[in-house]
Amino acid sequence: MALAMIAAFALTAGGVKLALSREYRSRGLLMIAAAIVLVGNVLIWTL
């Protein structure tokens, strides 16, 4: 679970960086969505 959270933070950071550029905005938003899914999975696993 710790690895999933580290990956979620990395995806969020990279996604925000890409989402701020006009050229790769959709890729950045997809990375942010993947991070949200990972965090959701961790929440399900812990509850």
CA 2 to chain centre: 14
CA 25 to chain centre: 14
Q: CA-based angle 23:8:41, to the nearest 5?
A: 125
| DSSP-assigned states of every residue in 23-38 | TTHHHHHHHHHHHHHH
**Which residue, 47, 45, 18, 17, is CA-closest to 3?**
45
The pTM score is 0.90
11 by DSSP, 3-state: which?
helix
Chain segment 1-47, per-residue pLDDT in tens: 999 999 999 999 999 999 999 999 999 999 999 999 999 999 999 99
